[in-house]
Amino acid sequence: MSGHTHKALLLLSKQGKLALGTRNTPRPGPGELLVKVLATSLNPIDWKIQRLGVFLTDYPAVLGTDVAGEVEGVGEGVTTFKKGERVFCQGTFDNNGASFQNFAITTAATTSKIPSKYSYEAASTVPVAFTAAYVGLYNAAPYGLGFAWPLDAAGRGKYAGIPLVILGGASSVGQYGEMLHPFAVRASTE
């Protein structure tokens, strides 16, 4: 796709306005995929980057961190994906890896195939919310609760019979927290 351009939603300057523009479509390098973005999701980090001017230093910038779409190109050494496959992954804070555009670069090692029963829209809601739940439960303090992985080598639960209350369990992050910690219980506000 060398020499081609695509549409992107650009943050024009730090704490600036968003505008529709064009970017050169990148080529996937070794171990990378070029994904045609068919769905993405909105996350709190998107408005925070725009309003607070955090995380990015180069403008114009492309926002968006959840990618769902089809493989458009395969980089050297990638044998696990082929053109046309349905995939999703967490994007990156750089213009080539962000999701508010028609095409994004991903690493094959961090990209997954979308099961046929899920839409692009459903798959696009997984990466950031799932990562937030995982980090919140299993990353070491002060960046998470520091729980040990709940299954032992034989697949048995280490926390059997020990409940974990997840406040905000109706949110995507809360629901993934319940999935990641099989003995979690959702706190009700009723």
pLDDT tens across 129-139, in order? 988 888 888 89
- Average confidence (pLDDT) over 6-20: 97
Q: Where are the domains of the chain?
A: 5-120, 127-186
* pLDDT grade for 36, boundaries at 50, 70 and 90: very high
Give first-to-last CA distance, the chain, whole Å: 54
CATH architecture label of 5-120: Alpha-Beta Complex (3.90)
Q: Are 73 and 87 in contact (CB under 8 A)?
A: no
Q: What is the mean pLDDT of the segment spanning 39-43?
A: 94
Mean pLDDT of the chain: 89
